Every structure is written in structure tokens, then in C-alpha cells.
Amino acid sequence: MTAKTHTVEKIGGTSMSRSHELLRTVLIGDRKGSALYNRVFVVSAYGGMTDALLEHKKSDEPGVYALFASAESGWQWGDALSSVASKMVAKNAEVFSDPAPREQADKFIRERIEGVRSCLIDLSRLCSFGHFQLEAHLLTVREMLSALGEAQSAFNTALLLKQNGVNARFVDLTGWRQDGELPLDEHIARQFAGIDFASEMPIVTGYAQCAEQLMKTYDRGYSEVTLSRVAVVTGACEAIIHKEFHLSSADPRLVGADKVQVIGETNYDVADQLSNMGMEAIHPRAAKSLRQAGIPLRVTNAFEPDHPGTVIMSDLEPKTPGAEIVTGLKGVFALEFYDQDMVGVKGYDTKILEALTRHKVWIISKTSNANTITHYLKGSMKAIKRVETDLAEAFPTASMTLRKLAMVSAIGRNLRGVNILPRAIAALAEAGIEPIGLTDMVRKVDLQVLVEEDEFDKAVVALHKGLVEERAERKARADIRRVA
């Protein structure tokens, strides 16, 4: 490993799908000679591939893994794997117009897919015997399948760069046909030993096989964890996430590209809140590694390489208080647990949390009063129903209600002293929205609003207008007065 002058940069799936544009922007652009190097790229699978391999991230529509794991689907997973293979071959044809590299790319991915297929057939047969439990191997299956997505995109990108005169090197962290598993940091250190960052451009798989089991610990969005550990282990000076858009004050697709502002800078506290809302600004555990190692993170628009993007650092205090981002989630389950026997008794919370942990349900936030504890959750209906069943058994006198809602959150480094609550209520009222619930945290970094799912878009637009756009207008007016 060489001097600490390199950056480690991740390209997300949505952006990876636009390979040729990436060559003209972040991967090569107008860089020549040594300017190309001292950059390590960690790549995600092409958009939609992991969804097809596992399950759709947002809709939960089953992919190969979900079909393999469900007893009722029989051998359907085999057809699903064949359709992923066709999708991957179609992608190769899109990336490589020349037949020679295209054949190389097809051969590479076909071999991996068929390797995984025969492994799954054997496992399935073995488990039909009765002595071996499929359950015990499902996580490994999930890991094997997801690795295919990143193996393809990293292999192809290295090949494409080589064709374009860059000394790129495919760094395969997927553990394909390797014996044994190492802890993640050790695995990375070994794979990077001997790579000269000054003259080689490593193209690294966003999936990494390791003793900790990436999917078990971090699940979807794991490539940001790989990014952060590669940055820490190799001693990068900066970690960069290239996205399809600038990190903006709201989703440009929803509010309008002309209305949102690029976030110039923010801190890891805000980044945590964003990932909690599923915004994937950065995986929460990835942020932690970078924060602890003192490595700044930059989020940029992959297709606007000259724009500095957003810098995220630990103690970056805002110049002026106020909301920086309005974001949110649809499909949030509000699980209300009510028991009059709860008054003055401790231990209810612990039991509920145990059930939520057992069934791997993500907690976004919670509220409680004398006899009610409400958790706002993200997860499959099936998992949440299991939580309900467990709790009904443990607390026969309790009653529970489950409701599907949307949560919209206004987030900022410092929301103190800016009348965030009355402004938010006024903005929602003006749009004709009556919030179902509202939580204004004492710490003043976020304000959470619960609305009906079909009011989500309207609520984001209204809160962005009332809290971000109007704040910008007030600031502009104040600046004019100061100059005058």
C-alpha cells in the first residue's frame, strides 16, 4: 500500500447503469496520465440486478433468493436465475459494442451464474433429504447470489477502462472459489497488498465475502460498508459516493430540479437521520466507520464531475439554523401496542424490542405514553405480523393495531429557534394536509410528520416549500437589505 493520498469512491447502482457516461465523467473525463490514478472505485451492481437476484428493495417483489427461500415456489427460482442471466447478458451487450470484450464479459458471468446454480440445486436436493435444514444455509445463499451482481459490474468496468487505455485492475472481494473466510478488514488488506495506487486503478466489488457476513450484518446497501472499510483499511484521505443526483434539499424527481438546492455541507448527524429514513445518503454503519477514522465523506453527482457536491464531516456546525432536507418514507407500519396494565410497570418496551429484533424489523422511531407504545417500522408485513403474534402471546391483555402510513421528516444540523413546528403545521395546512401524528424532537435535528400514504408527495412538496424554499427566500431578502 502506498502514501495516504488516494480517495476511495463508490458508484451506486442507478449510476452504474449509465457506464458510458461514467467514462466521460468520474472514471476518465479529461484526466490524463497520473491524474487518473490514486483513485479506488467500489462499484454496486447495475441498477435492478440485486433486486432481481434477491428481492425488490422497495416493493419486496421476490427475486431468485426469495423464491429459493420460500417452500411454496418449488423450482421457480431456476427460471428466475435464468432470467437474471439474460438480463446480465443484455447489459453486457449494452456496455460492450465490440464482440471480443463482450464475449469475455458473457463468459465471466455465465460461469459464475452456472456455478451458483449447480450449488443451489445440490443444496436443494441435500435439504430435501431431511437431515439438513435449508434455513441454516439461507444466508450463505443470499450472499452467493448478491455477489453475482457486483462481480459483473466490477469485472465489466475494469475491462471497459482497460479498453480505454486505463491501467485498471479488477479487485474481486466476493471470495469466488476461495477457501475459508477472513474478517472483512483482513480480507481487504490481503486483496490490496501489492497494488500500486499511483499507477493502477482498482475496480472493487461492492460485495465482500467475510467472516462477519456482510448481508447478515448490514443487509442491502452493503456496498457503502465496503467503501468505508476499504477507505479505512487503505488509509484514504477522502471517501466519495457518486450518485445519480446531487444530494439535494428534497428528491428532485418529486419536488422539481429547479426548486431543490444542492446541500453544500452537512454533518454525520444529519447523514444518520437520512439513512434512518431509507434515504441511503450513506449506510448508517458506513458513516460510523468513516466518522471514527476522521475521514471526510463527499457525496457528488456522478454526471456533474466539476461540481464539488456535499461534504459530510463530524463537527460541521451550520452557519444558520434551519431545515436542510425534507425526505421521507412510504409504507411505514405504525404498530400501536396498548395495555392498561402497563401504567407504572417496566419491561414492556424490552419485550417489544426483543420481538422486533428477532424478526429483523427496522425501527424508524417510536413514541409512548402511560399505556401505549407505538413503533414506526419498516419491514415486510409478514415479519411484522410475526411480531404481533409473539406479543399477543406474551401479553394476553394487550391490544394491538397496525396501520400503514407515510413519514416525512425535515432534517437539519440545528433546528433550534426557527419556529420549525408552527411553520411546518402552517405549510401542511396550506396544502390541505392534516397530519396524523407529529414528533418534534428535543434534540432539534429532525421533525417527523405522519401522513396518509397517498398524501406523501404533497406533504414533501409542502414542507420543502414552507421550511426550505421560504427560508432561502428570507435569507436572500436579508442579504439584499444588508447590501442596501
Ligand X SMILES: Nc1ncnc2c1ncn2[C@@H]1O[C@H](COP(=O)(O)OP(=O)(O)O)[C@@H](O)[C@H]1O
Ligand Y SMILES: N[C@@H](CC(=O)OP(=O)(O)O)C(=O)O
Q: Using the rule CB under 6 A, is 245 a contact of ligand X?
A: yes
Part of the chain binding ligand X (CB under 6 A), chosen from 97-105, 230-238, 246-254, 437-445: 246-254
Query: Facing residues of 401 across strands?
Result: 336
Among 55, 150, 244, 265, binds ligand X (CB under 6 A): 244
Asked if 283 and 218 touch (Cβ cutoff 8 Å), the reply is yes
Length of the chain: 484
* CB of 57 or CB of 458, closer to ligand Y: 57
Q: How far is the CB of 178 from ligand Y (least distance, A)?
A: 20
Q: Using the rule CB under 6 A, is 161 a contact of ligand X?
A: no
* CB of 245 or CB of 348, closer to ligand Y: 245
* CB of 50 or CB of 234, closer to ligand Y: 50
Q: How far is the CB of 177 from ligand X (least distance, A)?
A: 28
Residue 168 main-chain phi, psi, to 5 deg: -90, 150
* CB of 310 or CB of 414, closer to ligand Y: 310
* CB of 51 or CB of 455, closer to ligand Y: 51
Residue with cell 466507520: 289
Q: Using the rule CB under 6 A, is 63 a contact of ligand X?
A: no
State how far the Cα of 375 lies from the Cα of 60, in Å rounded to an integer. 21
Label residues 66-102 b or e (16+ Cβ within 10 Å = b).
bbbbeeeeeeebbebbeebbebbbebbeebbeeeebb
Among 401, 443, 403, 436, residue whose Cα is nearest residue 420: 443
Q: Using the rule CB under 6 A, is 13 a contact of ligand X?
A: yes
Question: H or E stretch including 80?
Answer: helix 76-95
Among 14, 367, 371, 372, binds ligand X (CB under 6 A): 14
Q: How far is the CB of 276 from ligand X (least distance, A)?
A: 14
Among 156, 157, 228, 248, binds ligand X (CB under 6 A): 248
The residue ranges that bind ligand Y (CB under 6 A) are: 12-13, 44-45, 50, 57, 149, 206, 220-224, 280
Among 330, 307, 161, residue whose Cα is nearest residue 240: 307
x/- mask, ligand X, residues 303-342, rule CB under 6 A, reads ----------------------x-x---------------
Asked if 264 and 324 touch (Cβ cutoff 8 Å), the reply is no
Asked if 396 and 341 touch (Cβ cutoff 8 Å), the reply is no
Among 54, 245, 259, 73, residue whose Cα is nearest residue 149: 54
Tell me how far apart the 2 most distant CA atoms of the chain are, in Å: 84
Contact of residue 367 among ligand X, ligand Y, none (CB under 5-8 Å per partner type): none
State how far the Cα of 173 lies from the Cα of 441, in Å rounded to an integer. 41
Q: How far is the CB of 2 from ligand Y (least distance, A)?
A: 27
Residue closest to ligand X (Cβ): 12
Part of the chain binding ligand X (CB under 6 A), chosen from 110-118, 178-186, 244-252, 398-406: 244-252
Q: How far is the CB of 404 from ligand X (least distance, A)?
A: 20
Q: How far is the CB of 252 from ligand Y (least distance, A)?
A: 18
Q: Specify burial of residue 356 (Cβ count, 10 A radius: 0-12, 13-18, 19+).
A: buried
Part of the chain binding ligand X (CB under 6 A), chosen from 9-17, 127-135, 152-160, 433-441: 9-17
Q: Using the rule CB under 6 A, is 278 a contact of ligand X?
A: no
Residue 277 main-chain phi, psi, to 5 deg: -85, 15
Write out the residues near ligand X by the rule CB under 6 A. 12-15, 47, 243-245, 247-248, 250-253, 279-280, 325, 327
